[in-house]
Structure 1
Amino acid sequence: MTYIDGHMHLENGPLTKEYVLQFVEAAHQKGLDEIQILDHTHRFIEFEPIYERLKQYDVQKTWLANKDMKFKDHLSDFIDLMKDIQQMDLPVKVKYGLEVCYVPEYENFLKELLGQYSFDFLVGAIHSIDGILYDMSFSKDLLWNRYDANDIYKRYYELVFQLIESQLFTQLAHPDTIKLFQIYPTYDLKPTYQKMAELLKAHHMKAENNVGCYYRYHHPDMGLSQELLQIFKDNHVDLIYASDAHQPQDVGNYIREATLQMN
């Protein structure tokens, strides 16, 4: 069996070979065959315009103003580094791409910008609901305590559907991480999951079975919910397993367990 970790970030460190090789070594020690390195678009100067709407709230504006983490590097520097890494004789296959925050009103902007570069893959992600981040420590006050969970979930999956139909991406990041705070809608999600599965299949996109919620947010699901996992399986959606590591020591976390869970 081939073990792939399809989602990890360099964002807590520099764009250097030495730092990337820490991820490679960690993957080798965990017995992985392949890793996919992708940084968030909010690392790169070129993508700052797509985050403009988040700045309507002071706490989000402050989060974006952290220049140690946000908009600090040029995209070309990341690509050049990863191309150099791929030329090295390594014990693990390395691919590179981006985790792109999909914002519908900036779809044409993203298409034009991403089209200027070459990537092994592109991961699309929804991290905000109409300008409000849903997965931060401050998100409960901004979003979850102010709006109905049914409305949040419906809008989230509307955005996911738009993301898939944009045809910009090869992979869908953490399809059900909206559940991270264990707040759920009162309506049945199975029809939504079925539609998502059909769209992914029609657009030849992979879906992540991302375990980040499990060990980073202590959610009881190891990756996708059993309900969603079964619907993806029934619809023959192509899955990729993902640790969502943000530091080398988390590379490969629960990849074997999640892979075995599916087989």
Structure 2
Amino acid sequence: MIDGHMHLEYGPLDKEYVLEFIEEAKRKGLSEIQILDHTHRFVEFKPIYENLRKYEVQDKWLDGKLKFCNSLDKFISLMEEIKKMDTGISVKYGLEVCYVPEYEKFLRETLSKYSFDFLVGAIHSVDGVLYDMAFSKELLWDKYDVNHIYKRYYDLVFDLVKSNLFTQLAHPDTIKLFNYYPTYDLKPTYHELAELLNEHHVKAENNTGCYYRYDHKDMGLSDELLDILLEHKVEMITASDAHKPEHVGSYIKEVYSKTFPAQ
């Protein structure tokens, strides 16, 4: 079993901390883990977040602890050292990149300078407003039409996939995390997403983070979206979205058989 999405975000970039994630993965019976951090940790990606600063609360969040505090070189050096160790488990590393279409050229030029095992693309904001923070309800959800938010979110997801920058799509339906839902039928959107993922050779995550981090009823992807991805034979990967060592592998066993029913 693979946990394809976990973050060092709340801890230091040092070997001892990474080994805590590895030991938890082994304890949970995982065969492989993918370690990544958000691009907002690394100084190289600071420009792509400038469009969030128009709101004071988002500006304050970006100036908070562990934002733009490390260089990519430090992260890469650490993870290369880890990969040379006999840890008893396969360890890969990459980034979770906040895709912002206005900065696609910047992202392409920056990412081309490095070699990662994988690159995860994620949408965390809709037209300059973060949708997954406590303050997002006031800034976004209670202010704008939910149908419009969903349509813009999936437009951005489609652009992300079509950019050919990424090998993996982070938490495809995490837009549901606060239980806001559109009134229109999402199935055509899901079919289009599945076709794009196949066309551009991008894996989709069955990510359990919404379940245990936001108390959402779905343990991973919604049944509707998962069924459509499986119908289209989209390549899948299970992921916990762990932000702490103890969360590594969370509910991976529970979603594994649904994600890979033929195995």
Do these two structures clear the TM 0.5 threshold for a shared fold by scoring above it?
Answer: yes
Question: Does 1:51 find its partner at 2:49?
Answer: yes
Question: Does 1:7 find its partner at 2:5?
Answer: yes
**Which of 4, 22, 35 is residue 24 of structure 1 equivalent to?**
22
Counterpart Cα distance in 1 of 2:81 and 2:251? 29
Normalising by the residue count of structure 1, what TM-score does the alignment of the two structures yield? 0.98
Counterpart Cα distance in 2 of 1:90 and 1:74? 25
1:167-222 Cα shifts (integer Å, max 9, x gaps): 00000000000000011000000000000000000001100000000000010001
Matches within 5 A, 1:54-93: 54-66=52-64, 68-93=65-90
Structure 2 gap segments, 5+ residues each: none
Counterpart Cα distance in 1 of 2:34 and 2:212? 19
- SS of the equivalent of 1:98 reads strand
Equivalent in the alignment of 1:183: 180
Counterpart Cα distance in 1 of 2:218 and 2:35? 24
Identity %: 67
- Give, in angstroms, the shift of residue 261 of structure 1: 2.4
Return 213-222 or 253-262, whichever deviates more. Answer: 253-262
Equivalent in the alignment of 1:133: 130
1:8-32 Cα shifts (integer Å, max 9, x gaps): 0001000000000000000000000
Counterpart Cα distance in 2 of 1:133 and 1:78? 25
Counterpart Cα distance in 1 of 2:210 and 2:255? 13
1:42-89 Cα shifts (integer Å, max 9, x gaps): 0000000000000000000000001x2100000110001000000000
- SS of the equivalent of 2:53 reads helix
Equivalent in the alignment of 2:217: 220
- SS of the equivalent of 2:67 reads coil
Q: What one-letter code is carried by the residue in structure 2 that aligns with 1:57?
A: Y
Counterpart Cα distance in 2 of 1:249 and 1:98? 20
Counterpart Cα distance in 2 of 1:204 and 1:71? 30
Question: Does 1:106 find its partner at 2:67?
Answer: no
Q: What one-letter code is carried by the residue in structure 2 that aligns with 1:83?
A: E
1:87-133 Cα shifts (integer Å, max 9, x gaps): 00011110000000000000000000000000000000000001000
Equivalent in the alignment of 1:230: 227
Question: Does 1:248 find its partner at 2:245?
Answer: yes
Matches within 5 A, 1:144-163: 144-163=141-160
Aligned residues: 260
**Which of 37, 40, 47 is residue 38 of structure 2 equivalent to?**
40
- Poorly superposed stretches of 4+, deviation over 6 Å: none
Counterpart Cα distance in 2 of 1:252 and 1:91? 16
Normalising by the residue count of structure 2, what TM-score does the alignment of the two structures yield? 0.98
Structure 1 gap segments, 5+ residues each: none
